Amino acid sequence: MDHDVERILFNEAEIRSGTDRVAAEVTAAYAGRPFTVVSVLKGSCIFASDLIRRIPIPLELAFVSASSYGDGTQSGRLALNFFPAESEIAGRNLLLVDDILDTGKTLSRLVGEMHKRGAAEVRSCVFLDKPARRAVPFRADFRVFEVDDLFVVGYGLDFAGHYRNLPYVGALKRECYERPRSAAR
C-alpha cells in the first residue's frame, strides 16, 4: 500500500498532536453539557475512536452510515444507510464526526436529518477539511487539518475500500485512481 502513496501529508505524530488540540477544544465546548458523538461511518471510525479517548468528560457514542456512489474519487449520489435510534437523537446535543469535509453535501444533509429527527443541537467535527471543493456552504465547528484539493487516503480514508488502515494520511498516486477499478487492489 505504501507504494501507492505519492507523499505523506500528515504522519502519526502530527495526527496525534492535531487530535489532542481538537479534543481539548471539544472538551471546553461541552464541559458540563451532556453530548453524543455521532461517528459517520465508515471513514471516521479511526478518527472518532482516537478523538473520544482524549475527551475526559462524559459523552455517549452513536453511529450513522453514509455513502456516496461516485466514480471512486468524486462524490456522487448520497445514500444514508442507517441512523441511530430516535431516542439517541431527540433532545440531544450531537457532535457529528466525519473523516473529511469535501463538497459539504454529506454533513449538510446529516445536520438537516438530525434536526428533523428532533436533535436539540447539532455541531460537526472533521479530521480533514478541503475548502477548495465545497459545493454547498458548510463550515465545520471543529477541524483538525486543512488539505489541498488532492485525493487522500489513510487513517480511515479509502479509495475503493482500501488504504483505510494506513496509520498516516497520504496523497494517492494519480495512476492508482486513474487505472481501471479491477486493477486497483
Q: Which residues bind ligand XMP (CB under 6 A)?
A: 43, 68, 75, 98-106, 151-153, 157-159
Selecting among 2, 4, 71, 102, the annotated active-site residue is 102
Query: Please, where are the H alpha helices in the chain?
Result: 12-30, 45-52, 105-116, 174-178
Q: Are 125 and 140 in contact (CB under 8 A)?
A: yes
Can you tell me the distance from the alpha carbon of 66 to that of 28, in angstroms, rounded to the nearest whole number?
28
Q: C-beta of 52: minimal distance to ligand XMP in Å? A: 18
Q: C-beta of 104: minimal distance to ligand XMP in Å? A: 5
Judged by beta carbon, residue 142 or residue 151, the one nearer ligand XMP is 151
Judged by beta carbon, residue 23 or residue 40, the one nearer ligand XMP is 40
Is residue 50 flagged as an active site residue? no
Q: Which of 39, 108, 103 is nearest to 70 (CA)?
A: 103
Q: C-beta of 167: minimal distance to ligand XMP in Å? A: 15
Judged by beta carbon, residue 115 or residue 133, the one nearer ligand XMP is 133
Instruction: Give the position of cell 482516537.
Output: 50
- 38: phi then psi, degrees, rounded to nearest 5: -110, 105
